Structure 1
Amino acid sequence: MSVHGSLVGAATLRRLRLAHGWSLAGLARALVEKAADLGQPLDAGAASVQRSVARWESSKAPILPGERYQFLLAHLYARGADGAVFLGSGSDFAEYLDALAHLGESEHRLAELRTLLVRTTTDVGGGLLALLGPSTQSALATALADPRRLDEALLAAMRTAVTDVNAQVGSLPFVRLQLLLAPVIESCRRLLDGPVPEPLLPVLRQVAAQAYTLGGRCAFETRDDVASRQLYAAATAAAGGSGAPWRRAVVHMSHALVTLYSTPGVDAAQQLVGAAVRDARAGGSVTVRARAHALQAEIAARAGHERHAQSALALAWYDMDADRDGDPSQSSFTAAHLRGFEGVTQLHVGDPAAAHDYFAGSAAELIAPRERVQRAIVVTDQALARIRLDEPESAAELLHGCIDAAAATGGRVAAIRLRRARGDLRPWRREDWFGDLDDHLIETLGA
């Protein structure tokens, strides 16, 4: 944190306070009242809180608000003057998080604050509209009434909203993500059916492809396979008209993964992965190409094709090591993710000891909230490797944590892998530790 950055953060906090019409004393009273409203009354009086506010906004040596005050301030700045919640780009809440970043707060903590407020919004029946804001809501209503009035600013806001929802994967259950996403999915459908200005069509299709793909995954995770297939078909069509083949590759990869767990065998998933690889090679994203080759390796390994799997992994690492500056994809696919694919390949057509080490290394780096679902899958696979290494009780210890993660997110893939791991442990079903694992599965996931 630089001195200049901290002063910028302090000035931003002061500007936000004044924009809400609060004096130092007024903000102190608002914080005390908010703490009481939330059932977390402060020990300090208003005068003491006022001195803290002054220190946060100091023009000489500002300090970062403590975590408790950060939480209270987040609740205050999540609402506009009209009392409506607005968390999206351009909101006071977004500006508040930026101020905390300037004052030295970590990205992880900022993500936690955002997740807490999004969760609160869905708890009280709000949804995507909280991520759009009043002016964007008005512009969206106007465009839905007359698609010819769609503009670039509205498309940018819709794209940001989808990105915001996607960022909550692993932090919120998939059923809540569906609620957040439903309005933008329906808006994209209606706009694509209308007379949208021709120059804006490619961008609208890009936004629609992102929304439909995430919607397809959420539908799958919540066990609605019919809706999932329909959304992936719509996403494929939208991405195909976006002018960027790598975008359709992203759709194919997501579709392939859910197909792998909803359709017997690997043939259907293999066809989708093949299409993803072709589109990725024709596209301009090295990151997407690396991920496509990694998924190709997994499917080949599951089919027992070791040489094909190893060749695809080599291509994935080649892409991963390439220069990715300016990559058009915002994918978070990293070397940690790729090590997970290395592990799957070793698990199916190689050495389970090597697979275990790959999984362990991957899990150690998948620590962001967004990676919670992926980490649960990787650790479950790590447990499978331990079973094959004749370490069943140690495998069960790993699976307990995966059960809790699967329950928190409602993730179907993690639950499917957990049940398969339990099946592999059946030879030890008379052991006490197996009974404990079985009880945990039944109590938490219902099976």
Structure 2
Amino acid sequence: MYARSADEQNSLGAGSDFGELLDALAHLGESERRLDELRTLLVKTATDDGGGLLALLGPSTQLSLSTALADPSRLDEGLLDAMRTAVSDVNGQVGSVPFVRVQLLLAPIVESCRRLLAAEVPEPLLPGLRAVAAQAYTLAGRAAFETRDDDASRALYAEATAAASGIGSPWRRAVVHMSHALVTLYSTPGLDGAQQLVDAAVRDARAGGSVTVRARAHALQAEIAARRGAAKHAKAALALAWYDMDADRDGDPAGTSFSTAHLRGFEGVTSLYVGDPGEAHDYFAGSAAELRAPRERVQRAIVATDQALARIRLDEPESAADLLHGCIDAASSTGGRVASIRLRRARRELRPWRREDWFADLDDHLIDSLGV
């Protein structure tokens, strides 16, 4: 009831009755976890019938956006803040809702950014608009990749790179390059395309104002090097990543975007390719144990699948299969493409045990959930 406006439209954003309800429940002592669960449930409900495209924009924001689209000179800081919050809200739903719903929620913001950037908006607001656009396009590019629309994904990443280039903060373009590199790694044969994007990300991150982004860029650099079999280079990049993570990150503009739990996952990948599988397994286990937020569900599934690969190499195939069942459920609920790719790889490595009952159970689960 609270999530419906007077004209029976879904409305979950700032200024909506639902937003006021969440504030009231918070003041009455309800936990942040329960409030997040309630919000996620309403987002799912709002997109069940293909609607809810503007659900995360409150009524006043929708009016302001309509006004700005009709007359771009009326764009203001308040609207930019609301759009930025909406993109962050959608980003927060990753792992809780399928990627097709992420696309639905992003669509009006992406199109609004395109129209405003093509118009004459107040000059002082251009950097802020480009920052919002870069975030929206990057997330939309990731969602397009996850839903297997690689052409749309490449186009969105190109738009994101162009928008980020006009902000004047190199670390923002580094974020785009890193997301694009991971997508390229799984959608393009070979490592060269991903390598070029990672190298560009490292250059921008080193010139930027975020130590956290620099740590993530070095971690990704380590993964690419490990996949190439360049152990020395991979370990050097990991050392730089840990050096950055241990630095003073107070006031870092991207301080929450990458954590030690994420970095342990990269350590695991490095050990898996150019080190000891037992060590890799322990890194993956530690990373998965810490990645517990709903937003981290996709990443946790990827890490756990890699952990299963380490178990296979430790000659523990049945234990690996047990772990993969949970990964299948996570990949199925989110539609995550990377997790699905990793699962297929793990299945191939389990083929020597294909006559075992537990392998048949795993195969049935994969087919029933993912059709692979």
Category of TM-score, reference length = shorter chain: over 0.9
1:151 to 76, 80, 87: 76
Does structure 1 conserve the Cα–Cα contact (< 8 Å) formed by 2:15 and 2:59? no
Alignment equivalent of 2:17, drawn from 85, 92, 102: 92
2:108 corresponds in structure 1 to 183
Q: Deviations over 1:219-271 (max 9, x none)?
A: 00000000000000000000000111100000000000000000111111011
Return the offset for 1:81: 4.6
Partners in 1 of 2:79 and 2:328 — Cα distance?
40
> 2:93 matched to 1:203?
no
CA positional deviation for 1:156: 1.0
Distance 2:367 2:359 in 1: 12
* Identity across matched positions, percent: 81
Report the counterpart of residue 51 of structure 2 in structure 1. 126
Q: Contact 2:285/2:307 (CA < 8 Å) preserved in 1?
A: yes
CA offset at residue 137 of structure 1?
1.2
Take 1:103 and 1:346, find their aligned partners in 2: how far apart are those partners?
48
State the alpha-carbon separation in 1 of the partners of residues 138 and 62 from structure 2: 23
Does the aligned pair in 1 maintain the 2:15–2:60 contact within 8 Å?
no
Q: Which amino acid aligns with 1:202?
A: P
Note if 1:357 corresponds to 2:282.
yes
Q: Does 1:215 align with 2:123?
A: no
Structure 2 Cα separation of the partners of residues 401 and 332 of structure 1: 25
- Which amino acid in the other structure matches residue 176 of structure 1? R
Report the equivalent of 1:440. 365
Gaps of 5+ in 2: none
Shift, 1:94, TM fit: 2.5
> Contact 2:161–2:176 (CA<8 Å) still a contact in 1?
yes
Helix, strand or coil: the match of 1:440? Answer: helix
How many Å separate the matches in 2 of 1:268 and 1:208? Answer: 24
CA contact (8 A) 1:215 1:228 kept: yes
Q: Give the C-alpha shift of residue 155 in structure 1.
A: 1.0
**The one of 280, 297, 305 aligned to 1:380:** 305
Contact 1:219 1:225 in 2 (8 A): yes
Q: Please name the residue that 1:265 is paired with.
A: 190
Residue 61 of structure 2 corresponds to 136
Contact 2:55 2:105 in 1 (8 A): no
Deviation at 1:373, TM superposition (A): 0.2
Which among 230, 234, 237 is matched to residue 162 of structure 2? 237
Q: Following TM superposition, by how much is the alpha carbon of 1:104 offset from its aligned partner in structure 2, in angstroms? A: 3.2
1:112 to 31, 34, 37: 37
Distance 1:360 1:93 in 2: 38
Residue deviations 1:356-391 (CA, integer Å, cap 9, x gap): 001011111111110100000000000000000000
TM-score (norm 1): 0.81
**What SS is found at the alignment partner of 1:324?**
coil
Match of 2:157, as an amino acid?
Y
What residue is the counterpart of 1:276 in the other structure? Answer: 201
**Unaligned 5+ residue runs, structure 1?**
1-75
Greater shift, 427-436 or 383-392, is seen at 427-436
1:21-420 to 2 correspondences below 5 Å: 76-329=1-254, 331-420=256-345
- TM-score (norm: length of structure 2): 0.97
The count of residues paired between Structure 1 and Structure 2 equals: 372
1:139 positional shift: 1.4
Distance 2:139 2:216 in 1: 17
Question: What's the RMSD between the two structures over aligned residues?
Answer: 1.2
Q: Are the counterparts in 2 of residues 86 and 131 from structure 1 also a CA contact under 8 Å?
A: yes
Q: How far is the alpha carbon of 1:339 from its aligned partner? A: 0.6
Q: Note the C-alpha offset of 1:318.
A: 1.1
Cα 1:161–1:210 change in 2 (3 A) is same
AA in 2 matched with 1:312: A
Q: What is the Cα deviation at residue 322 of structure 1? A: 1.2
1:92: how far off? 3.1
- Secondary structure at the aligned position of 1:130 is classed as coil
CA distance in 2, matches of 1:124, 1:392: 42
Q: Which residue of 2 aligns with 1:428?
A: 353
Deviates further, 226-235 or 332-341: 332-341
Q: Distance in 2 between matches of 1:185 and 1:393?
A: 45
Task: After TM superposition, give the deviation of residue 126 of structure 1 in Å.
Answer: 2.7
For residues 81 and 148 of structure 1, the distance between their equivalents in structure 2, rounded to whole angstroms, comes to 29
Stretch deviating more after TM superposition (134-143 or 112-121) = 134-143
Q: How far apart, in 2, do the equivalents of 1:79 and 1:193 lie? A: 33
| Residue aligned with 2:93, SS | coil
Are the counterparts in 1 of residues 134 and 163 from structure 2 also a CA contact under 8 Å?
Answer: yes
Q: Partners in 2 of 1:217 and 1:320 — Cα distance?
A: 25
* Greater Cα radius of gyration, structure 1 or 2: 1
Tell me, yes or no, if the aligned pair for 1:108 and 1:368 is still in contact at 8 Å.
no
CA displacement 1:66-97 (0-9 Å, x = unmatched): xxxxxxxxxx4323455443211233322332
Aligned to 1:56: none
Write the distance in 2 (CA, Å) between the matches of 1:205 and 1:127.
25
Letter in 2 for 1:348: Y
